[in-house]
Structure 1
Amino acid sequence: MTTDDTTPRRWLRRAGAPRLEYGADYNPEQWPREVWPDDVRAMRAAGVTVVSLAIFSWARIQPRPEVYDFAWLDEIIDLLHAGGIAVDLATATASPPPWLIARHPEILPVDKRGNTVWPGGRQHWRPTSPVFRAHALRLVRALATRYGKHPAVVAWHVNNELGCHNVYDYSDDAAVAFRAWLRDRYRTLDGLNAAWGTDFWSQRYSDWDQIIPPRQATTHPNPTQRLDFKRFSSDALKEHLIAERDLLHELTPDLPVTTNFMVMGEMSPMNYADWAAEVDFVANDHYVLPGPQARDELSFSANLTGNLAGGRPWFLMEHSTSAVNWQPVNVAKKPGEMHRDALTHVAHGADAVCFFQWRQSKAGAEKYHSAMVPHAGEDSAIFRTVSALGRRLASLSAVAGTRRAPADVAILFDWESWWVSEHDSHPTDRLRYKQEALDWYTALLDLGIRADVVPALTTDHRLVIAPILHVVPEELASDLKRYVGNGGHLVTTYFSGIVDENDQIWLGGYPGALRDLLGIRIEEFAPLLDGETAELDNGTTGTLWTDRIDVTDPAVEILARYKTGEQAERAAITRRAVGAGSAAYVSTRLGPDGLATVLPALLDGAGVTSELPPELRGRVELARRGEHRFLINRTAEPVDLGPDGILEPRGVLIR
């Protein structure tokens, strides 16, 4: 579920005019007390306005089961407050302390092979453990009681990156909770057996207690069981979020509550479209992933986060000043990239820009992760750059509080299609849902077209692109037909419309639920082997997938045919007019360059044009918040903006 315009939202509890907040995770417990006043002084010099505090502090706050030590936390919160720096206070439940594991090893997660996942890292707890939940809520209550009225505290930060390391737990606790979740969903065993197709491989259940999570099996697990376990696992984490949130709302009703999502890269297990309505404002962590579409992926994720927030401002809780520590090779950011990354998030709705972390750690697993104050100290290029960014954000107070301006084009991003389309036992295991969606986004940027990445179908866009919309329940199929019938223009791709909400095939030929709307029929898939390609007569080259398309409606227009390969002379790209709307199908992976060739005809048919002059298209990304226009240099070269001057390499102009 996503928020809509009527859903009330809250922001940080603070007085004064709106502003763009700036800061970082702050971990003072890693440093001696004499460093703390220097930290606050340097924060003020850098323009820091807010820090996230106590994220991994449970062992410090509660060193023994019946002992709380708040003295150090009192001291640092008071010190920050005296320095004019607000606190986003974490509930500290992300990683349980050693004493809790020693007393209750049964809270540790279990992997699908039945092995206990031991402490030594972080997030070593079961989302469904009643023992962990009780201890976590006891800590939350203690923190809320002590700090809920402190004037420095402006928001609650539940846990941290929920599910980053413990989303899939296969323990006995998870099995009990999974059965309860299934009973609530299906009501009867007959309903579950029908949905899961358990007559295949003699899997039919005669008692609820026979059902377990999809642990390591001799061969491929039941695919609907896997889908439901993914739904359940996302829901289990959401339930923990809600448990902490509800207690905080009860004890501190005037303080907003959030948690940091991870809309980035291939982080698929948490269905954030379903979580977004459960927080008072959306927050996100994002880290740039190397590759030719690295900057576009950042924009894509920021865009999606802004739409998860319903167009309202959101909080960038973490990104990096420079190199991270968890990639195979961790490369420092180039000049201009730190500012461009931060301001791209602002362009897509972020009203807070924060880093991990304030001071680069001296010890621990993340000591090589960049920070606002690096190992080199304040006399460093990084600190000068973060200070300059702080000044720039302070000058943009007019942007704060403004909403993202909707575009004419939307890319529909569906979590369940992401999950199911990449299951095993499919026509190919090379398919990557997020990559296909990102390719369309890059192609639109290359053409100078502004698009929204949306988690649910909207009728507010002239053109909706739904790549690999694999899971199509009957209700969604009806909604898509209604959208097109009312004058909307739909584009979808290979492996779309294939299964219903139970991962069962829509019979009668592919693309199943979308077959009649598209006016085509496919009897058999034709995936491509590694290295195989299929040339199209429009000059593009397909990879990964092709389809043996039969056109079933003479009104269907063939926009491109296969020129080579097994499908030569068959339709490759089609479009069917439906009243004032249309439904188009792209049957192969074309990549950003190929899609940029195909898109003009689809955009023209929908009446969509670029808001940028021709000379800027592809070189500059345009984003809009309210009346503010962000021009983001996508290149490492200067771009001449005419009367607006020169846009520096990796630069951002806001006007």
Structure 2
Amino acid sequence: MPDTPPHGLHGLAFGGDYNPEQWPESVWQEDVRLMGEAGVTMVSVGIFSWALLEPEPGAYDFGWLDRVIDLLHEHGIRVDLGTPTVVPPAWFYRAHPDALPVSREGVRYAFGSRGAICHSSPAYREAAARITTELARRYATHPALAMWHVHNEYGVPVSACYCDTCAAHFRRWLEARYGSVEGVNEAWGTAFWGQHYTAYDQIDPPRTAPTTGNPAQQLDYRRFADATMRENFVSERDILHRLSPGIPVTTNFMTALSQCDSVDYWAWGREVDLVTNDHYLITDGRRTHVNLAMAADLTRSVAGGAPWLLLEHSTSGVNWQPRNPAKRPGEMARNSLAHVARGSEGAMFFQWRQSRRGAEKFHSSMLPHAGTDSRVWREVVRLGAGIGSLASIRGTRTVPDVAMVWDWTSWWAQGLEWRPSEDHDARERADSFYETLYDRHLTVDFAHPEADLSAYPLVVVPALYLATEAAGDNLRRYVENGGTLVVSYFSGIVDEHDAVHPGAYPGALRDVLGLTVEEWSPLGEGESVRIAGPRDASLTADVWTEFVVPRGAQTVWTYADGPAAGGPAVTRHRLGKGTAWYVSCRLDAVALDTILGDACEDAGIAPRTELAHDVEVVRRRGDGGEYLFAINHTEHDTKVPLDTPGTELLTGERTVGHLPVPAGAVRAVRLDA
């Protein structure tokens, strides 16, 4: 088996964050014994240990960490070693209080939590480089080392600082980006509201002002904050590459759209040696397994389709939501193996042993407060055995069916103030389109709007408010060459500087859609309209309507009432060899299925009616063979048809013709070649 990241693993990664510093050393022997019982193959160590590793400036104490890593190695457990730069020690902040970030309102945050960092601080950058260098020199050749883990969840909870150090850094960033103050004025449209600048030192971060500030300035500041965090990651990564060659370097992402909106993961995915992700179920009443699948698909896409690693999730409940329910029996295994089906090279948790103290003491763990005589522990042991049986899938890739265009920069821009309706939410549109595709049993790749889309028969664009000319050209070529495109409302409106594209809406997407939009007419709270379609069908829309003028597009659905009554609501445009659909109102997932069903027919994607609702079927393929995962999220047994016989890896049973999947269970079949 090739030595793909993490280094030295012979199967999939299974384990979690291990924080032995929270426990007396007498507990460590019990920990490694129980890790063996659970089938743990790798743990993450040292992520929050800076204050213990460097108790005084320049004075290092690695003795305890030496003993921990040696003990893990003796028991055959690989180590994902953290650089602890997410929480500098208290002594550091006493010496450098200006390294604490400042809010947009001018309030300097205090020490006592985590992630309270001004990423522009020279003192922080120097201190982070020093501790990273010392760790690399000491552990670069340790035989247990599988991977370096830089920092922790960049952007959580603070991504942007608004202090004077950041202001100076922002000005340098602007000069490098635009070349002159006039370039900044042009990009930001500073002629509006008299905001013209004549020197860089007049430009500040977009701090709190009496009313809405310049949206282009705010958008650039988000880019700057993201780039500044990334600079710090790259600095640590390069130290590790230099001193610890051959060992992959990562940092844990949080790609789930509901959890972190301050990081452009398209850019970050290019900087890590292995994409890793943390995912926690959001228990807000929605189908949590759909959000999980979406997060996994998005993470795999950030990895360019390559295998990635789930570096954190929970065995049961978390502790930071308004309500934190426990996972039901079997749900932990379904969650874990759903990530594996969608490309993860294992399943890691936060954390190994549940803390007795601190802010996360009620967050579930692999070894809970209840100990080994508990449901969670028994499920962890069973899952470890199951993960062990899947070693042969390592290095294979998940097979996608369709693509969804997503861009973090566009999401940032759309979320700024003074948009046509506060009820329109880019993430909600992405969720609804994804849910519809999920319920059609289609595996989704996400794609940057300027990426090559030629491999996909169907591409959906749920919310692309900011679309460059290059993105518009890319989508037009995709359709001309035979692709089927579905675009939702309020897309293609502005360029990369949040400036409206010249001419009628939808700007960059006018040509591919074959229409113009004269005006938007968002609906009031609680209002809805009907749209009428073929065969006297009727659907309900809310939040948004538009006055659409076809310019080559065919009207398929019409507004039956409301502000745009009698006008086009959904259109279809034949362009070259392909077809572009436009949906000018907000439809829920059920109504979207009607439109996407027609688009799938255009794309030649047959309905998968043989599969039950809430039963996922996902394939992985590669040199290791082809694998089919079936995940049953229902309370009823089901059967999944198999076009090729194979061996079910979790039970060892042969399968021919169909695959029985019990209620709440997961099955993984290695298909015969």
- The equivalent of 2:654 in structure 1 is none
- Mapped to 1, the partners of 2:340 and 2:327 lie a distance apart of 19
- The equivalent of 1:439 in structure 2 is 432
SS of residue matched to 1:545: coil
Q: 1:609 aligns with which of 606, 613, 637?
A: 606
- Residue 134 of structure 1, CA deviation: 0.2
Q: Does 1:476 align with 2:471?
A: yes
- Residue 649 of structure 1, CA deviation: 2.8
- The equivalent of 2:334 in structure 1 is 340
- Mapped to 2, the partners of 1:448 and 1:93 lie a distance apart of 41
- Mapped to 1, the partners of 2:443 and 2:223 lie a distance apart of 32
Higher mean C-alpha deviation, range 639-648 or range 414-423 = 639-648
- Residue 617 of structure 1, CA deviation: 4.5
- The equivalent of 2:520 in structure 1 is 525
Within-5 A mapping of 1:160-175? 160-175=152-167
**Do the aligned residues in 2 keep the contact of 1:639 with 1:646 (CA within 8 Å)?**
yes
Higher mean C-alpha deviation, range 152-161 or range 449-458 = 449-458
Q: Bigger relative contact order, structure 1 or 2, given CA contacts below 8 A and separation 6+? A: 1
Q: 1:559 aligns with which of 528, 548, 556?
A: 556
Q: 1:625 aligns with which of 620, 638, 649?
A: 620
- The equivalent of 1:3 in structure 2 is none
Q: 1:583 aligns with which of 574, 580, 598?
A: 580
- TM-score, normalised with respect to structure 1: 0.96
Within-5 A mapping of 1:527-546? 527-537=522-532, 538-546=537-545
Higher mean C-alpha deviation, range 382-391 or range 435-444 = 435-444
Q: Which amino acid aligns with 2:287?
A: Q
Q: Which amino acid aligns with 2:630?
A: L
Higher mean C-alpha deviation, range 87-96 or range 437-446 = 437-446
- The equivalent of 2:76 in structure 1 is 84
SS of residue matched to 2:228: helix
- Residue 544 of structure 1, CA deviation: 1.2
1:388-434, Cα deviation, whole Å (9 max, x unpaired): 00000000111111112232x11111111111112111101122112
- Residue 100 of structure 1, CA deviation: 0.5
- The equivalent of 2:637 in structure 1 is 638
Within-5 A mapping of 1:64-79? 64-79=56-71
- Mapped to 1, the partners of 2:489 and 2:357 lie a distance apart of 48
- Residue 258 of structure 1, CA deviation: 0.3
- The equivalent of 1:355 in structure 2 is 349
**Do the aligned residues in 2 keep the contact of 1:572 with 1:587 (CA within 8 Å)?**
yes
- Mapped to 2, the partners of 1:250 and 1:452 lie a distance apart of 34
SS of residue matched to 1:560: strand
Where structure 2 has 5 or more consecutive residues not aligned to the other structure, the ranges are 642-656
- Residue 41 of structure 1, CA deviation: 0.2
Q: 1:268 aligns with which of 255, 261, 271?
A: 261
Higher mean C-alpha deviation, range 275-284 or range 436-445 = 436-445
- Mapped to 1, the partners of 2:291 and 2:268 lie a distance apart of 21
SS of residue matched to 1:561: strand
- The equivalent of 1:379 in structure 2 is 373
Q: Does 1:516 align with 2:511?
A: yes
**Do the aligned residues in 2 keep the contact of 1:511 with 1:522 (CA within 8 Å)?**
yes
- Mapped to 1, the partners of 2:443 and 2:149 lie a distance apart of 32
- Residue 459 of structure 1, CA deviation: 1.7
1:586-627, Cα deviation, whole Å (9 max, x unpaired): 0111111111121111110111124x4x23153312211101
Q: 1:449 aligns with which of 439, 442, 453?
A: 442
**Do the aligned residues in 2 keep the contact of 1:25 with 1:357 (CA within 8 Å)?**
yes
- Mapped to 1, the partners of 2:123 and 2:72 lie a distance apart of 34
Structure 1 vs Structure 2 CA RMSD? 1.4
Within-5 A mapping of 1:569-580? 569-580=566-577
Q: Which amino acid aligns with 2:377?
A: F
Q: Does 1:129 align with 2:121?
A: yes
- Mapped to 2, the partners of 1:425 and 1:530 lie a distance apart of 17
- Mapped to 2, the partners of 1:544 and 1:491 lie a distance apart of 19
- The equivalent of 1:495 in structure 2 is 490
- Mapped to 2, the partners of 1:509 and 1:202 lie a distance apart of 26
- Mapped to 2, the partners of 1:520 and 1:645 lie a distance apart of 47
- The equivalent of 1:36 in structure 2 is 28
- TM-score, normalised with respect to structure 2: 0.93
- The equivalent of 2:594 in structure 1 is 597
Q: Which amino acid aligns with 1:383?
A: W
- Mapped to 1, the partners of 2:121 and 2:99 lie a distance apart of 6
- Residue 297 of structure 1, CA deviation: 0.8
Structure 1 segments, 4+ long, off by >6 Å, are: none
Q: 1:9 to 1:310 in 2, by over 3 A?
A: farther
- The equivalent of 1:654 in structure 2 is 668
- The equivalent of 1:4 in structure 2 is none
- Residue 645 of structure 1, CA deviation: 5.0
